[in-house]
């Protein structure tokens, strides 16, 4: 069965009613409930006849996992155990070395990364990683370090739910609608609208304890590379050229000061590639740049500043985790999206 045939067959099967889940001999720890569609897909895509094909293909690819905060340490630990069973964990330095030497990474290589890391990464993820000797990378929003500011998208949703209004936002819109509009705005309009939401909302959002400069050094000492995720997490494609430069170079400067060395890895805050950002990163000496496109990449990345990543969450079941790691679920998602 060819890759394309297996993918198409699996996509068709996704729309069919799922078969009953195979009972487990071990009772799993209690975890946050997944959405029904995700739970069904995770419980039976793993048993798809296409899964062995995708798993064999994934052995010759690089899987970069993109997490955010860790809300379920036990589930995250179970995922790391699966990595130890199924894959070869690698570090940012391993990827950089492979590129420098022109030699592909080992089969089934996996790099663990975190975007927008908060203190849950320090408290919950780091002990699980250290216990299993798995390296990782954390991409930091520099202007939040050492503060109790919430992420701007969490703040905007809270303000919208508490009566916040802005001239460029429709009155009475849901928090999800407000966020979608803010993310689509040119960056000056987004910042202006967010300021208006702050002034007009009936309540201020609760604070969120962010990482401190010394926490970044703790992560680095535990084999978690600290990377650049811009100063304030704008959508770079909605920024003018001067803002793109300021967001990347400003974060680079403060991270270098905190760490005592320049970061060499960058993650695009909106997940998509930007040519102007690429030029800034090259001038600053960055060796790796990461997307959020929910794909596997080659074991020797063809474009070091455009490395694909798979989206995963600490609450993802191990069954679904396996199909993400193999590339089966991402392929099915793309097919279903193309057919929608």
Instruction: Give backbone dihedrals phi and psi of 224, rounded to 5 degrees, phi first.
Output: -110, 105
Average pLDDT value for residue range 307-321: 94
Report the pLDDT value the prediction gives residue 41, as an integer from 0 to 100: 55
pTM above threshold 0.75: yes
d(CA 70, CA 73): 6
Q: Can you list the positions of beta strands (E) in the chain?
A: 61-67, 88-89, 109-115, 136-140, 224-228, 265-267, 288-290, 297-298, 310-311
Structure confidence by residue, pLDDT tens digits, 269-295: 988 999 999 999 999 999 999 999 999
Answer whether 227's CB lies under 8 Å from 166's CB: no
**Is residue 248 over pLDDT 70?**
yes
d(CA 153, CA 172): 18
């Amino acid at each position: 069965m060819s890759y394309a045939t297996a993918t198409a067959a699996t996509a068709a099967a996704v729309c069919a009613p799922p078969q009953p889940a195979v009972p487990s001999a071990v009772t799993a720890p209690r975890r946050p409930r997944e959405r029904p569609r995700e739970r069904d897909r995770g419980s039976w895509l793993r048993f798809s006849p296409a899964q062995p094909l995708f798993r064999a293909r994934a052995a010759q690819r690089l899987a970069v996992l993109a997490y955010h905060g860790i809300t379920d340490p036990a589930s995250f630990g179970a995922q790391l155990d699966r990595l130890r069973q199924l894959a070869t964990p690698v570090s940012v330095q391993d990827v950089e070395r492979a590129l420098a030497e022109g030699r592909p990474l080992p089969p089934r290589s996996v790099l663990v990364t975190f975007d927008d890391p908060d203190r849950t990464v320090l408290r919950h993820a780091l002990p699980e990683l250290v216990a299993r000797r798995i390296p990782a990378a954390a991409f930091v929003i520099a202007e939040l370090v050492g503060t109790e500011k919430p992420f701007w998208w969490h703040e905007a949703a809270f303000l919208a739910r508490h009566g916040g209004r802005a001239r460029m936002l429709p009155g009475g819109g849901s928090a999800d609608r407000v966020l979608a509009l803010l993310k689509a705005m040119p960056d000056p309009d987004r910042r202006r609208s967010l300021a208006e939401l702050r002034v007009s909302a009936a309540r201020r959002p609760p604070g969120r304890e962010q990482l401190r400069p010394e926490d970044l050094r703790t992560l680095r000492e535990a084999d978690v590379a600290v990377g650049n995720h811009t100063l304030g997490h704008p959508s770079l494609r909605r920024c003018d050229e001067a803002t793109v430069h300021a967001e990347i170079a400003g974060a680079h400067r403060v991270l270098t000061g905190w760490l005592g060395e320049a970061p060499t890895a960058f993650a695009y805050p909106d997940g998509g590639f930007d040519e102007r950002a690429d030029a800034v990163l090259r001038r600053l000496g960055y060796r790796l740049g990461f997307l959020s496109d929910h794909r596997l990449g080659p074991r020797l990345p063809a474009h070091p500043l455009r490395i694909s990543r798979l989206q995963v969450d600490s609450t993802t079941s191990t069954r679904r985790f396996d199909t993400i790691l193999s590339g089966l679920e991402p392929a099915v998602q793309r097919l279903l999206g193309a057919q929608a």
